[in-house]
């Protein structure tokens, strides 16, 4: 293996140095990954096909030297060159990966989207992660370069190149192409700013402030550090969505082992596990996202026998309601069993059910995977799916977990009308606790007055309000644009704080992403830039939030368990009753602190003896 060869070479070099110089000279630190440079001048370097295509050395084109790899005979967009780098990439470390790509040919149009991808096994199945997708122009070598952190639990770590996925690929999508000069070098990760205010401290007393992140986003060390400094709520970007937790193979196996049972879909937490472990380790409350959605839910979940045949019939309403209940039940039970200490304080039960462009405000029946925006919940169940989803969530979610409806453009009047209609029905049935306002804003829309009006309408129903996916689209990185964005954030947060102080029950503010570099929007929409540095928007927020007045700390007198400012026989009597379980608590919140006289975190007979001595001394 390359690592072993490298260490051997370094050892030989060190011994030679001793022999020549008489003493050891300091050797520079070396990383095997720094030596990954596949230029194909001496062979394939381990690269080969993913499928039936051909991957071979060629001198037809080359970015450097004489040779490159040619890929031909592709029948699917995922066909392309792949290499296993398990032995040379260190788990948990961050790398910058790059490869040059080129295509030629009169039959092809001038441009094509290509992707550099990571594939690894997480112990339960293969996981795929995009490193970089970019447009390649015909006849020009184009560098695909991106950064990734190799998951600490990964096995069979592979890198590959493919054209952009298409359901029905054209000859253009299945083109021949060339790659050359693949490199992998350790990423030079920046340090976060540790001396700036913490967002969770700034908003303390107002509401939780959280971040949304995927496993890949939160993998780099500075991302973890930034999250822990600023946030006290975690939303999983994709890993708890239906397509991530529904386990097709296990579902089919269960159906076949149980006489064709079609109503008990099986789930897996494998995609969510790294984030669940992070939340567990750092005791971070989680905002669950999302149980029921027309998007990112596989079509097989809605078909008879869970068929993957696109011509198979849809399941009946009766079957789908049973599947819905068991899916929610199985997920809640798995989370409670495997991660009992991870607190889910809220769940988005139904996400984006409303389409204001239809007469009834509901999405058009059909497959979102075939016709974007359509809903298979409307196809198979109809509008009832919303109430039923909340019924099942109320039944199986933790008792103290708040249930939310979540949507975007939630400030527009017509859409707000339809959402309130849904919320009113759910509230009357005792099934909903809050409204999730996604808050994907642009620089000029919505207006602050629209925002305020919609919050007041939702709050009037007696619901909690949470801003669940906040970002402000900004394609411009000029100082002028960043200052303008900062003012936009300031206006939003100032209004939010004012409404909170007025008494509106706003309980969380969640930013959708960690840094600009990994935002789903592209551009510069968040508070931190690609180097994990605070932007003007960050300072505009922290400087506009007035700290709440703090009450002076209560002085606790050891032994004063009734809180009357004295230590006497009354305290001794209360202590005895507490230890005999005649009472469940002391009269004041500080009673247990006062009762723990030896400060070992427990109240027991040792403390009772110490209290007796104190009382006798007072007498």
| CATH code, domain carrying 120 | 2.60.120.260
List pLDDT tens digits, range 353-368.
Answer: 999 999 999 999 999 9
pTM confidence score: 0.76
List pLDDT tens digits, range 317-352.
Answer: 999 999 999 999 999 999 999 999 999 999 999 999
Secondary structure (H, E, C), 411-434: CCHHHHHHHHHHHHHHHHCCCCCE
**Residue 269 placed within a domain:** yes
Element (H, E) at 49: strand 48-49
Same domain, 16 and 107: no
**Residue 558 placed within a domain:** no
- The yes-or-no verdict on residue 195 having pLDDT over 90 is yes
User: pLDDT exceeding 70 applies to what percent of the chain?
Assistant: 94
Domain holding 614: CATH number?
A: 1.10.1330.10
CA distance 195 to 189: 18
Cα→Cα distances 69→21, 41, 116, 296, Å: 44, 10, 15, 35
**Has 551 been annotated as catalytic?**
no
Domain holding 266: CATH number?
A: 3.20.20.80
Same domain, 263 and 371: yes
- Which residue range(s) make up the domain with 604? 569-618
Same domain, 257 and 406: yes
The active-site residue out of 217, 352, 391, 464 is 352
Q: What letter would DSSP give residue 35?
A: G
Residue of 350, 252, 259, 256 lying closest to 301 (CA atoms): 252
**What's the confidence (pLDDT) of residue 361?**
96
**Mean pLDDT computed over every residue of the chain:** 91
**Has 56 been annotated as catalytic?**
no
CA distance 229 to 509: 16
CA distance 69 to 40: 7
List pLDDT tens digits, range 541-575.
Answer: 999 998 877 667 778 999 999 988 899 999 999 99
**What's the confidence (pLDDT) of residue 583?**
84
- Going by pLDDT thresholds of 50, 70 and 90, the confidence category of residue 154 is confident
CA distance 438 to 510: 9
Q: Which of 432, 453, 474 is the last residue of a domain?
A: 474
Same domain, 137 and 264: no
Same domain, 304 and 259: yes
Q: Which of 436, 458, 474 is the last residue of a domain?
A: 474
Residues 6+ apart with CB under 8 A from 283: 341
Residue 407 forms beta bridges with which residues? 437
- Average of per-residue pLDDT across 587-611: 89
- Going by pLDDT thresholds of 50, 70 and 90, the confidence category of residue 13 is very low
List pLDDT tens digits, range 358-416.
Answer: 999 999 999 999 999 999 999 999 999 999 999 999 999 999 999 999 999 999 999 99
CA 374 to mean position of chain CA atoms: 25
**Residue 193 placed within a domain:** no
Same domain, 20 and 99: no
- Going by pLDDT thresholds of 50, 70 and 90, the confidence category of residue 17 is very low
- Average of per-residue pLDDT across 438-442: 96
Cα torsion through 214, 218, 219, 222, rounded to 10:
160
Same domain, 333 and 425: yes
- Going by pLDDT thresholds of 50, 70 and 90, the confidence category of residue 31 is very low
**What's the confidence (pLDDT) of residue 98?**
95
List pLDDT tens digits, range 208-264.
Answer: 999 999 988 998 999 999 999 999 999 999 999 999 999 999 999 999 999 999 999
CA distance 315 to 306: 9
Same domain, 68 and 153: yes
Give me the number of domains the chain comprises. Answer: 4
**What's the confidence (pLDDT) of residue 618?**
61
The active-site residue out of 239, 391, 410, 469 is 469
């Amino acid at each position: 293996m390359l690592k072993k060869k490298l260490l051997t070479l370094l050892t030989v070099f060190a011994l030679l140095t001793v022999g020549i110089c008489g003493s050891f000279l300091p050797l520079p630190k070396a990383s095997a990954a720094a030596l990954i440079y596949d230029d194909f001048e001496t062979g394939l370097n381990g690269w080969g096909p993913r499928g039936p295509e051909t991957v071979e050395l060629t001198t037809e084109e080359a970015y450097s030297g004489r040779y490159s790899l040619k890929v031909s005979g592709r029948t699917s967009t995922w066909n392309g060159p792949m290499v296993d780098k398990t032995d040379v990439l260190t788990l948990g470390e961050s790398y910058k990966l790059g490869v040059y790509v080129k295509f030629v040919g009169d039959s092809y149009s001038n441009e094509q989207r290509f992707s550099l991808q990571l594939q690894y096994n997480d112990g339960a199945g293969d996981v795929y992660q995009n490193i970089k997708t970019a447009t390649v122009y015909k006849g020009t070598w184009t560098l695909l370069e991106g950064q990734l952190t190799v998951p600490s639990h990964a096995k069979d770590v592979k890198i590959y190149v493919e054209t952009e996925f298409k359901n029905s690929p054209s000859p253009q999508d299945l083109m021949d192409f060339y790659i050359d000069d693949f490199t992998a070098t350790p990423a030079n990760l920046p340090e976060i700013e540790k001396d700036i205010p913490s967002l969770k401290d700034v908003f303390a007393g107002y509401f939780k402030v959280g971040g949304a992140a995927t496993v890949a986003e939160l993998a780099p060390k500075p991302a973890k550090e930034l999250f822990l400094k600023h946030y006290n709520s975690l939303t999983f970007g994709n890993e708890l969505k239906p397509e991530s937790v529904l386990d097709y193979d296990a579902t089919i196996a269960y159906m076949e082992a149980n006489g064709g049972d079609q109503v008990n879909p099986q789930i897996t937490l494998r995609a969510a596990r790294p984030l669940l472990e992070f939340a567990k380790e750092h005791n971070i409350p989680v905002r669950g996202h999302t149980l029921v959605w027309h998007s990112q839910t596989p079509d097989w979940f809605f078909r008879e026998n869970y068929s993957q045949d696109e011509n198979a019939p849809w399941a009946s309403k009766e079957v789908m309601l049973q599947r819905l209940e068991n899916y929610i039940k199985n997920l809640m039970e798995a989370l409670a069993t495997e991660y009992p200490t991870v607190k889910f304080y809220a769940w988005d039960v139904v996400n984006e059910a409303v389409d204001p462009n239809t007469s009834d405000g509901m999405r058009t029946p059909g497959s979102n995977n075939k016709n974007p925006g359509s809903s298979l919940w409307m196809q198979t169940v109809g509008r009832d799916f919303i109430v039923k989803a909340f019924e099942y969530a109320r039944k199986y979610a933790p008792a103290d977990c708040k249930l939310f409806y979540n949507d975007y453009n939630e400030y527009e009047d017509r859409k707000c009308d339809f959402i309130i209609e849904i919320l009113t029905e759910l509230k009357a049935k005792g099934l909903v606790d809050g409204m999730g306002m996604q808050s994907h804003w642009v620089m000029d829309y919505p207006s602050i007055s629209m925002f305020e009006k919609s919050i007041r309408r939702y709050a009037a129903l007696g619901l909690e309000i949470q801003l669940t996916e906040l970002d402000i689209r900004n394609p411009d990185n000029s100082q002028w644009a960043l200052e303008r964005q900062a003012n936009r954030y300031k206006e939003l947060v100032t209004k939010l704080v004012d409404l909170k102080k007025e008494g509106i029950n706003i309980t969380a503010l969640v930013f959708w992403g960690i840094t600009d570099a990994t935002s789903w929007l592209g551009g510069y929409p968040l508070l931190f830039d690609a180097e994990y540095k605070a932007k003007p928007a960050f300072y505009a927020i922290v400087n506009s939030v007035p700290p709440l007045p703090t009450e002076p700390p209560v002085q606790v007198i050891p032994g004063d368990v009734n809180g009357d400012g004295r230590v006497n026989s009354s305290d001794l009597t209360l202590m005895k009753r507490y230890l005999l379980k005649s009472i469940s608590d002391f009269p004041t919140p500080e009673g247990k602190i006062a009762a723990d006289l030896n400060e070992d975190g427990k109240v027991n007979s040792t403390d009772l003896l110490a209290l007796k001595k104190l009382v006798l001394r007072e007498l």
